A and B are shown apart, each in its own frame.
Chain A
Amino acid sequence: MSDQTGIAPARSTLSLHKLGVFCGLAAAVWLGSAEAPTKLVTEGFSPFVISIGMVMGAFVARWTVPTLLKGTGFLFNDLREKPHLIVWALLAGMLWAVGNTLTIFAVRNVGLSIAFPLWNTNSLVGLMWGCLLFKELRGSRPRDWMKVMGGALAIVSGATVLAIATTQQSGGAPGRAAVGIIAALGAGAMFGTMYIPYRKAYISGMNPLSFVTIFTFGELGAILTLGLIFFGGVSPLAGEIARARTMLFWPFVGGFCWVIGDLFQQYAAKYIGIGRGIPLSNTNQLWGLAWGALVFGEFTGLTGGSRLLIIAGSSIMIAGAVSISMAEPPPGEMENWHAAMHRECDRYGLDTSSVSAVVAGDDPLADHKHPRRWWEVLIMCLAAAVFVWLAAGTRAQHIYVNVPWMIVLIVSTIVPLALCGTLLWRRTRFS
């Protein structure tokens, strides 16, 4: 492969706060849309097998997307400079795997409508850790506290209203409700805590694309270990996966879409912190609702009162997102952000000036194109082969789909990807 060392054109001057807000909203679109393929999974499969399918899709996405955007040379250099963060990336992956499996237990026991808002409390957990461990919101004005706290609470409240409205239609699974609620809250705690490694990596100057390539080993290792324990060995687990072969493509695609949303979420966590970024990405429930209502016709028999509740819940969530978007951190808070960054530099011997540049989205190395390697082509070919292999063995699902609405939502999903991807490239070169 050729060794390109050209310098890219000048960068845009978009504020990092605005960029982070766009990333948070784009994350919501993709995280919400990631649910759509999993709706095509018919009943009767173990939550673990569905989770393994998602993790397989996530594993493929977490290697192909960073390789495509930055190349393995850049990623390995970044990891070599901050090797201590490998521990946190693995830990975050394990937290995600356990949290994701808990969500599937929760959906099985109480239904998506109740489980979703409960695990969306992860934004409040993330807000607490951001404030306690990374000095987020410290030094900000009372009105900024009100905007962020009020916005996060509005998003959780909106989620609860939506849950009440949609539960009337879809109905929770009978019995085992308490276990489902505990599982959903547990998932919220796991996801909310997963943002500690995210934030730590980004105030240490790590690139989100490098972080996720290691993250995925944590999630794959954890889910396979849990699967082996649950099924009692390799043979029963392999048998269960083989039995699910005809539907494995759908959670695989869901996991792949989830990673694209998560990448935007990682950039939001980097540029506006977890206290602001995670509540924004948690508006994904609106997109999940749109897919359910418009494409899968889940709420055709909805009463007028329930429709009003859905409009109210959605409006509250949107108001919460708008409130957070307007809470740009003041200089007093930025000083605390820098203090958190200096703590990492002092503790792990990082170069402060280099880390400061990367944290500000101005990674000097990002402008230089890195040599492409032959194995990157191999990674892409293998990823495409896995997609084709899984798709070829998938049985058609007999489920109602509104094709015009599906096209509208697919376009609405691709537009933020192109828009936000372009903004990230022009402002930060994906750093």
Chain B
Amino acid sequence: MKRSQWICILTDVHLWVPAAVLILGTALLMTLR
């Protein structure tokens, strides 16, 4: 993929919302073990 497409991906709110939820969910899972 071109650099410009990576920039589009990294600045897409559709990426950051699920990424943030994934980080929070993983943190929750780590506290449960």
Contact = CB atoms under 8 A, between A and B. Distances in A.
B33 A91 contact: no
A352 to B, nearest CB: 16
Interface stretch (A95-103, A291-299, A390-398): A95-103
A102 B1 CA distance: 34
Interface in A182-225: 182-183, 186, 189-190, 193-194, 196-197, 200
A179 interface: yes
Given A84-B1, A348-B8, A186 B25 contact: yes
Given A83-B1, A84-B9, A347-B12, A197 B18 contact: yes
Contacts of B3: none
Contacts of A99: 25
B28 A102 contact: yes
B18 A84 contact: no
A88 interface: yes
B17 to A, nearest CB: 6
A91 B23 CA distance: 11
Nearest to B8: A347
Interface in A343-385: 347-349
Size category of the binding interface on chain B: 20 to 34
A98 B26 contact: yes
A101 B24 CA distance: 14
Interface in A152-196: 179, 182-183, 186, 189-190, 193-194, 196
Contacts of A190: 21-22, 25
Label chain B's interface by main secondary structure: helix
A94 B24 CA distance: 12
A215 to B, nearest CB: 13
A83 B8 CA distance: 12
Given A91-B19, A92-B18, A105 B32 contact: yes
Given A88-B14, A133-B14, A95 B21 contact: yes
B29 A95 contact: no
A132 B25 CA distance: 21
Contact of A194 (B18, B29, B33): B18
The 9 A-B residue pairs with the shortest CB-CB distance, nearest first, are A193-B21, A98-B25, A190-B25, A186-B28, A196-B18, A193-B18, A200-B14, A105-B32, A83-B1
6 contacts: A83-B5, A91-B15, A95-B25, A186-B24, A190-B21, A349-B5
Given A92-B18, A189-B24, 19 more contacts: A83-B1, A87-B9, A91-B19, A95-B18, A95-B22, A98-B22, A98-B29, A99-B25, A102-B29, A133-B17, A179-B32, A186-B24, A186-B28, A190-B22, A193-B17, A193-B22, A197-B18, A226-B29, A348-B8
